[in-house]
Structure formats: C-alpha cells, structure tokens
Amino acid sequence: MTSITILGGGNTAFAVAANLSLRGHEITLFELPEQASNIEAIQESRQITLIGVAEEGVATLKSVTTDAQEAVDASDLLLLIVPSYAHKPFAEAFAPLLTAGKTVVLMPGTLGSLEWARILREHGTEGVTLAEVDTAPYVCRKTAPTEATIWGEVTGLGMGALPATRTGDVLAQLAPLFPGISAHPDVAACGLSSINPVIHPCGVLMNAGRIEYSRGEFYFYEEGVSPSVAKVVSRVDEERKEIGRALGHELTPVAKAFHEAGFGPDGTLWEAINGSLMLTRLKAPGNLESRWLTEDIPYGIATWASMANQFGVDTPLMRSFIEIGSIVMGIDAWSSGRGVADLGIEGLSVEEFRGYLMSGQLP
C-alpha cells in the first residue's frame, strides 16, 4: 500500500482517487477551500462509487480535506489533477508548505511544471521534484456528486521530470499506479506532447456554428473531426513538432500518439479517431465557453507559440486559432494564459533552456 495525496476535486481527480483506493492505496483527497463544493458530497463519508472499465465498487478514502498542511503531511507523492488554469493557485497554496523530498506530478501538465518551479523559487522552496504527464490517465467523468465513471484507461501515458536527472525515480513511483507509463526526455518534451491543445481549439472553432446551434448535441470526435478537420489538426501538429525539433526532440505525431495512448487504431489521424470506441462516445461541449477553448488555447497552443517565438520557430496556424479563439472567448488568450515569463524561462537561449531542464538550475 502506498500513501498518495491527490490535489483536486474534479472528474479525473475523483476517478483516480477511487481507482487507486480500490487497488489498495491510502488516498488523501484535497481541494482548495474556495472550491470546497466539489468535495462536499463526500467529505463526511469519504466514499466514491466507481463504475466503468477499471476497478468497480465503493472506495473509502483515508481523508477528504481542504487543509493544505494535512495534504502535504499525508504523503511524499502528490498528484495534481486539475485544469491548467488552476495550476497556479495550487502552486501558491503549497509552495510555502512543501519540503525537500516531496514529489509533485501534474496530470496533465502542458508545461505547468515549469510554472510551479518558478513559484517554488520565489518562495525559496528547494529539494522538491516536479513532474508532469502528457494526458489524463483516464477517459472519465464525475457522473454524480459521489460517483465517477471510467470509460477507458490510457495505456501509453508519458511522463517528464524536472530536473530530468530525477526521471528514473519518478517513473519508479508512478509505474505501479499507472501501468504502461513511460518517460519523456524532459518536461518540455512531455508538455509539448499533450494531445488536447492540438485537436480541441481547431476542432471546436471549425465546428463553432454547430456547437452553438445544437448546444453540443452531437459526437465531437465521430462527427466533428471529419477528414477535412483532421487535415487542419495535422497542420497544427506539424507546428508543434517543429517546436520540439528546435529543442532537440522528435515528438510523436498526434495520430500515432492517439494510438499509443490506447485511444484508437494505428493509421491516419482520422482513422485513429474514427476507430476509437472511447473517443467516439464523447459529445461536443455544450457551448464555446468550455475548457476545450478556455484551457487549451491560453494554456495550450498560446503557451507553445510563446515558447516558439522565443526560440525562433514560426507557428502561423497556431497563432491564427489563438487570435480567432480570443475573439470567440472575449479574452486576450496571449495575456490571460501562460507565456514564457510565467514559465520562468523568458530570455533563455535554447542551450540554456535545455541545461535548465536537465539540472533544474537556471543559468
């Protein structure tokens, strides 16, 4: 039995907490006090009913709390499972409390581990290992206030650690929890390997009229990601891979990543998605204010494009969707999300950045 603290009270946090608890691990579930309503229904019973393709049954957690110190004391391994825009509030809450020897894993991260590292430095917190994974471990939803459903488990989860020299240690901690997990060379390669920002902004904006008209009553991947939409997604993916090449990484194409994660068959992007039992069951968001834009643009492709600009990589298609998305969302996705300054890497050369990723120490 392993003691694990899970930070967050949403869909995936509930599913991970319940699944790992039913597998015999001692789970503490934490939510920020201002979001306490997310865990209110289970705070007294400490129980989550899990159904679906993973473990099934009623999981009883060790603790359900809004006390950050309790969450830190409960385990040396903390899994942060929240949307990207919540990474910073959690970092600011936990940076003063974390001590050397703790490991925090963002699930997924989309480069959020770099933002955490900057905030830890600002608080003078040292000796904490940071890591992130490239996608959520399950396709799941909180299907009732005390219930979660897992429709599919990701079989090819990828992980990167900061500093990269700690990769083997973090992988050893996570492998028993998430079978099939493998290592990226560093957190930049991992953050650039996230699937959602590649497909969601493009797919949602190209289906904006239908989403608004039907209020999401159609199957996003099966119907919305048509062969033509898949072509545009693939071009966004080429820009993502070019950023990776600038950093010395040959990133996995999105179609192959879908297949390796266990989402669908090997083939073109459209073939992988169209043949996916998990993805084709998911409906589109009910409106254009969903995380598929509000997270995956300012904390996804806008972050990537900011990094690309610093390292001399042109990303015209990403920038187009960022500009169009900003109009649709009514915000400036460039300033409201996460750029190189937020990541704490502004002004670094490629060589300096790669050195930082390996050592965890800024030049």
Percentage above 90 pLDDT, the chain: 87
- If residue 84 lies in a helix (H) or strand (E), which one and from where to where? none
Sheet holding 47-52, edge to edge: 57-60, 47-52, 147-153, 138-144
Give the pLDDT band of residue 157 (cuts 50, 70, 90). very high
Confidence (pLDDT) at 257: 87
Domains of the chain: which residue ranges? 3-191, 196-345
What per-residue confidence (pLDDT) applies to 349? Answer: 97
pLDDT at 269: 87
**24 torsion bin: left (phi>0), alpha (psi -120 to 50), beta (else):** left
The pLDDT value given to residue 272: 86
| Residue-level pLDDT at 140 | 92
Q: Which has the closest alpha carbon to 212: 141, 290, 143?
A: 290
- 280 pLDDT exceeds 80? no
CA dihedral 16, 18, 22, 25 (to 10 degrees): 60
Task: Categorize the per-residue pLDDT at 43 as very low, low, confident or very high, splitting at 50, 70 and 90.
Answer: very high
- Which pLDDT belongs to residue 197? 96
In the predicted model, is pLDDT for residue 270 greater than 90? no
Look up tokens 């060790």; give the residue: 62
Could you tell me if 136 and 105 are in contact, meaning their C-beta atoms sit under 8 angstroms apart? no
- The residue with tokens 């995956």 is 296
For the chain, the helix, strand and coil percentages under 3-state DSSP, each to the nearest 5:
50, 15, 35
Q: What does the pLDDT read at residue 277?
A: 74
Span 340-362, pLDDT tens digits = 999 999 999 999 999 999 999 99
According to the CATH classification, is domain 196-345 in 1.10.1040.10? yes
Residue 279 has pLDDT above 90, yes or no: no
pLDDT at 265: 86
Q: What is the pLDDT of residue 260?
A: 82
Q: What is the pLDDT of residues 104-141, one digit of tens each?
A: 999 999 999 999 999 999 999 999 999 999 999 998 99
pLDDT at 316 exceeding the cut of 90: yes
* Average pLDDT over all residues of the chain: 95
pLDDT for residue 263 is more than 80: no
Q: Could you give the CA distance from residue 190 to residue 289 in angstroms, rounded to a whole number? A: 27
pLDDT at 62: 98
CATH superfamily membership of 3-191: NAD(P)-binding Rossmann-like Domain (3.40.50.720)
pLDDT digits (tens, 9 = 90+) for 170-224: 999 999 999 999 999 999 999 999 989 999 999 999 999 999 999 989 999 889 9
Q: Higher-confidence residue: 35 or 152?
A: 35
How many angstroms separate the first and last alpha carbons of the chain?
Answer: 40
Give the SS3 label for residue 21: helix
Lookup: tokens for 131: 């890591």
Report the C-alpha gap between 285 and 283 in whole angstroms: 7
The residue among 344 and 262 whose pLDDT is bigger is 344
User: What does the block give as tokens for 342?
Assistant: 């937020």
List pLDDT tens digits, range 142-154.
999 999 999 888 8
pTM above 0.85, yes or no: yes
Do 3-191 and 196-345 come out as alike in CATH topology? no
Is the pLDDT at 267 greater than 90? The verdict is: no
